[in-house]
Amino acid sequence: MNAKYLILKHTIFYLVLTITIGCNSSGKDEKKMVFPTDLTVIEPSDSVKFDTGWFDSKYKVAVYMNKVGRSIKTLDWQPAISNNKEVAFLFYISEKDSSKLIRQLKENNFSHPVIYDPNKEFYKANGIGEVSFISFLLKDNRKVEMSNPSFPNFQERLEVLANE
């Protein structure tokens, strides 16, 4: 592929992502987020096991995706997950086909466990607007702000979160 095409493609993706996130939520929220725990966990790699204690973690990054899309393919979550052991990363993915989900996670070398949510329970329980991807930084299950690895200062935001 042509380098200009890739740059344009990524620029458009991040622009749409930023606009979508900015238009669909206001960041801080006094309402506690709800985390359905009776869903199936998919561990795409044997090296990382799901820890149910993550649901009780004081600091979280809650990610919702309606399917494996650009957020897994183009955003590098691994450095944030590896460098912030005090922050739990919960990925709720509503892909209908679990075998397709597993295949896509493996194809994209995504090793972190995900919560398989084909009926959009997380989405519905938290009144998330019409988005296909959104991620929140949480303290005590309350939204602090929206952020993800596409933000230039994502690591700094995680450090501030964990030091509040």
Measured in residues, the chain has a length of: 164
* Contact predicate 114/93, CB 8 Å: yes
Residue 34 DSSP class: -
pLDDT tens column, 51-96 = 999 999 999 999 999 888 767 778 899 999 999 999 999 999 999 9
Radius of gyration for the alpha carbons in the chain, expressed in angstroms and rounded: 15
Closest residue by Cα to residue 39 from 101, 97, 129, 116: 116
Strands 87-93 and 142-146: unpaired
pLDDT tens column, 29-48 = 678 999 999 999 999 988 89
Q: How far apart are CA 38 and CA 60, in angstroms?
A: 18
Number of folded domains that form the chain: 1
Give the alpha-carbon dihedral of 107, 69, 16, 62, to 10 degrees.
-110
Amino acid identity of residue 154, one-letter, is: F
- Given this model, what pLDDT does residue 129 score? 84
**Domain span holding position 30:** 3-162
pLDDT tens column, 118-142 = 999 999 999 988 889 999 999 999 9
- Given this model, what pLDDT does residue 67 score? 83
pLDDT band at 21 (very low <50, low <70, confident <90, very high): very low
Which has the higher per-residue pLDDT, 21 or 81?
A: 81
- Given this model, what pLDDT does residue 164 score? 78
Amino acid identity of residue 118, one-letter, is: P
Strands 40-42 and 87-93: unpaired
CATH of residue 27's domain is 3.40.30.10
- Given this model, what pLDDT does residue 3 score? 53
Amino acid identity of residue 64, one-letter, is: Y
The yes-or-no verdict on residue 4 having pLDDT over 80 is no
pLDDT band at 10 (very low <50, low <70, confident <90, very high): very low
